[in-house]
A and B are shown apart, each in its own frame.
Chain A
């Protein structure tokens, strides 16, 4: 295998953004006909690397070599022309157009006078669709397809060119098992034609099923390549997480208070079902699971952004109904949302105003906003959270990701909540800020806050949590204490492999809650 010329090589790629070294000398070689897994935690640099490959970012150092020639990528189109095709997790389809038009977007076959050659278009499309064995027609409107079928349209795009390498980014996130089989057949077919494949996924089972080699990134650095047949999940995990696990495990324990929040048999219209848990003041309860497991939806329900279809919420022993964020805030629940730019901040607004937004009605001097109190609050949390900004007048959009996140956290701490929910506390921020935020979360618990942390990063969950709720497909699979949890058991639980134990844990939890009342 080593004697073959790689179809695609990345050599010593370095990419820095203000304040972050996103990629630090990453190299990767993809051989013809191999499926090459690219693994790493969120923020490890996978997506930045792919953006460099796709020409969306230009590397500061290093080269991209396609076949034998070093190339410069000017954008996704250029990459496609050079035989590098991306299949994104986020769909970029025109919903009102037909399947065929989407597959050949920008490249519609043309007759004279600028007319679309529909016969040619449908013939070409049908050839591709046959290969994919999909159940829909070239003329179907894309908006009428299921998400999984839309994903297949996205994949079909890759087959329109003579691809040298195809990059699949979490392609199975929305596919059923049957659809996955079709996808894997497609990949095998590409493979047999000598196409190199980069397969990005968090799902170990798939990785071990279809890939030939596995390369691992951590904190923007290349950590090594393993031959799939000669390794196991543990070795890969070790490489991905890197640090010694004992160190990262939360070992600090302090006196827990009363149960602050208890949720009993909560369901929300198929997004999650029959979820029960309790969190005490002074405790950090971690929620771990794959994207789409229902964790964020639970947080949104607790914060009054979704109506539950069944179950009850109890705050400090009292049954409550929460219909709006205002209700939740009034009852002492705060939510640091998942997407800080879309949900957490008004980017055009200054730092101070963002920070005091939830309580602006309470900060009044006469009919006016008491700007003095606002500045005092801002100063307090700027110092406490070490937010680096030239001043409160700065628009939040101008700050770095880490500082933006701290503004959101500060905004909710300033509400002095009894329950603080933090969804993906460190997504997309640099390593230094990460540990600061982790320490802060531990510190909050020590000061008697009940904290719920939702995260897709295992070390983070292990590091900050006193107990961990593992979720799979809208259900609580198992609840671990920090003493008993192992990565293996956690990974198994969030892959849906231990359904038997889930029920048992739930009941323990519930009776615990009842005892306290």
Chain B
């Protein structure tokens, strides 16, 4: 087998192998170290795991398509926070006073619209100015965060709508609302990336931009659509999370971009674009959440979680390099 094939094979399967390894490790280690009575693989615990994966997971799906397209989005944390503010605040607007509980879908829609517009702004700037997406979204990360603060100063924005909370805490077929949203988003983005012309063209652009341009694919609109998708998903993630908590601090969502990118890279998406799998990203999201929960289960604190996740990210890169290492005949440049 050529190194390339082995690498592909490992990349496709590795994340699930890693998850399995985590499960075994934490189950066994949990027997000796855990303070809690419950087994790690307890059904309730696993359901909770899915639910807790949702906020990062939903955004990670958008990040996968943006990165496959050859871009990156660092502004998702700020977009998440701003959408959350719009969601909670809109429910208190006098305009919607007569709507009763119908204000909920309206507010959700407004929040998602906010995310989409913020994404569209990023996409439009990347498309029209030709400035690298890294810089554009780095700027937007600050700018959108500024907008969050400008909205409500340094005060948290709070509004609890009990109907919404009930909805968020509801379980359908045993799964929480958030889990359902995550699964639906995963399915939808998988479908988008693998079955639609837009998805395939996005792959082609990330893989070989020049070839795509020469083949007449319009690079700009495809990139912009993907930025709108990730914006909308960051907003959706906020809807799912804040429906339940009902209060958003202006600093919420900070460092989300890092968690999301970590999950996507763990899932094997190529940094240079062109290749990435939604299913593996889903695996990446679960792996991270599992690690957090597992380490907590055996009594490790946040510090260990951070340390381990950082080192695993680097280890993945190292492994990838070893698998792709060229023969001895290679030029030493």
Contacts and interface: CB of A to CB of B under 8 A. Distances in A.
Q: Do A and B bind each other?
A: yes
A186 to B, nearest CB: 21
B215 A144 contact: no
Contact of B207 (A96, A271, A309): A96
B215 A116 contact: no
Contacts of A97: 200, 203-204, 207, 274
B196 A93 contact: no
Nearest to A325: B332
Given A97-B203, A114-B196, A324 B329 contact: no
A321 interface: no
Contacts of B327: 269
Contacts of A365: none
Given A77-B215, A101-B204, A92 B197 contact: no
Interface string B312-333: 0000000000000001111111
A305 interface: yes
B200 A95 contact: no
B212 interface: yes
B275 interface: yes
Contacts of B217: 105-106
B197 A269 contact: no
A114 B198 contact: yes
Contacts of B198: 114
A93 B215 CA distance: 10
A76 B274 contact: no
Interface in B203-230: 203-204, 207-208, 210-212, 214-217
A94 B200 CA distance: 11
Of B197, B212, B275, B328, chain A has the most CB atoms within 10 Å of the CB of B197
Contacts of B299: none
Interface size class of A (residues with CB under 8 A): 20 to 34
A114 B5 CA distance: 31
Contacts of A307: 328, 332
Interface in A281-340: 300, 304-307, 309, 324
Interface of B: 4-5, 195-198, 200-201, 203-204, 207-208, 210-212, 214-217, 270, 274-275, 327-333
27 contacts: A77-B216, A92-B211, A94-B204, A94-B211, A95-B274, A96-B207, A96-B270, A97-B204, A101-B200, A105-B211, A106-B217, A108-B197, A108-B201, A110-B197, A114-B196, A114-B197, A114-B198, A115-B196, A116-B196, A116-B197, A144-B4, A268-B329, A269-B329, A305-B332, A309-B328, A309-B329, A324-B332
Given A107-B216, A306-B329, A324-B332, 7 more contacts: A93-B208, A101-B200, A105-B211, A106-B217, A144-B5, A300-B331, A307-B332
Interface of A: 75-77, 92-97, 101, 105-108, 110, 113-116, 143-144, 268-271, 300, 304-307, 309, 324
